[in-house]
A and B are shown apart, each in its own frame.
Chain A
């Protein structure tokens, strides 16, 4: 009787032991027979279930690893392609600008040497030629800049917006502000953002320049810049790939200029789209397209609130820069939970 009992228990235990060894060696398809309805049978079922789960997990891990390798390969290929595109755009724009420089320079040389002899229509013809060449050069420069935003790697830094605007006032925008009697006012100190400093500078420069350029007749341009900090991401239906960062900053650049009709609010961000003739306002029509691209690359959004005749408020969102203390607080509170 005892012998019988021992056999009854020993054999399944032996099978379980052998099974465990096999699984340990990697034979994840191995299962043990469920021979009885008792605790041993239950153990055998559990063992089989565990083996099944293990197999599933291992398969998932393998799949994941494969995906990671593929992703890496795709990223490397993208980087190479990016570099090639960057080089191509650079070379192409450079080579394209050369003949234009000749047209423009020698056109002016011609104007100089012909001096008073060139009258009326002839003079106009020459001017149109030179003007055409100059405009094309501007467009190529803008295209080059636009393409660079897409292909150049972003170096994220903590950017002090107040400082950036201050520098713009002193350097790039100094002449324009003086000419037009324009002023820039920052209502309250703006928060810092995590962004590429060169691109952000360009973004601000373009928006402020527009605010000054499209000024109302007889009224000195006044630019007001303010910030609204949001602690939730901005999610809207028509914005795929939305920034869901915890902290975004919304910056508004408001002007007292001529404003923009509602129907044009989306158009103006498109490449080379201008609302006014070149006689009234110069420019290639790419400034806002560049702004949109910069903001997009940082995972933010850009838009405008404006009424014709009242002025415009251009707004954009960027990831906020967390101060060191905030980071530390976050870390401490997450460890405590």
Chain B
């Protein structure tokens, strides 16, 4: 286990404001991570395909953060496709979305999401959320490929 390698996080998020919020919050954490951002499900799939061929610019993520409401391919469809791939299904996907709809929550867990987080109302709350997320995934849990 090469624990000195930074954990690679892939953020699938179309809103530039949210992209920035998460980027800052992650940078503040004790555990250094490498954040890759894509703006849609399609881009995410392309990125993951590139990562399969060990493209240096597209390192394979250890964790995926996924927004549900995006133009084009929606989050659930992306989640379904990822989990269908025998190789990519090993990457845990955490849903990070505004929706609180029970049907969304139920469906995501049934599609094997490894967490469902509602986007916080305030930046302070969001900092706390990201801190807990980072501690769980990068300190407490081991990740495949790290």
Interface residues in chain A, defined as those with a beta carbon under 8 Å from any beta carbon in chain B: 167-168, 170-172, 198, 201
Contact = CB atoms under 8 A, between A and B. Distances in A.
A317 B4 CA distance: 24
B39 interface: no
A167 B2 CA distance: 13
Interface residues of B, number: 3
A168 B32 CA distance: 13
A203 to B, nearest CB: 13
Contacts of A171: 4, 32
B27 to A, nearest CB: 13
Given A171-B4, A171-B32, 6 more contacts: A167-B4, A168-B4, A170-B32, A172-B4, A198-B2, A201-B4
Contacts of B2: 198
Interface string B56-77: 0000000000000000000000
Nearest to A168: B4
Interface string B26-55: 000000100000000000000000000000
A95 B2 CA distance: 23
Interface in B76-120: none
B53 to A, nearest CB: 19
A168 B4 CA distance: 8
A169 B93 CA distance: 31
A168 B2 CA distance: 13
User: Which 5 pairs of residues, A with B, have the shortest CB-CB distance?
Assistant: A171-B4, A167-B4, A198-B2, A172-B4, A201-B4
Contacts of B4: 167-168, 171-172, 201
B30 to A, nearest CB: 10
A172 B2 CA distance: 12
A170 B4 CA distance: 10
A168 B3 CA distance: 12
8 contacts: A167-B4, A168-B4, A170-B32, A171-B4, A171-B32, A172-B4, A198-B2, A201-B4
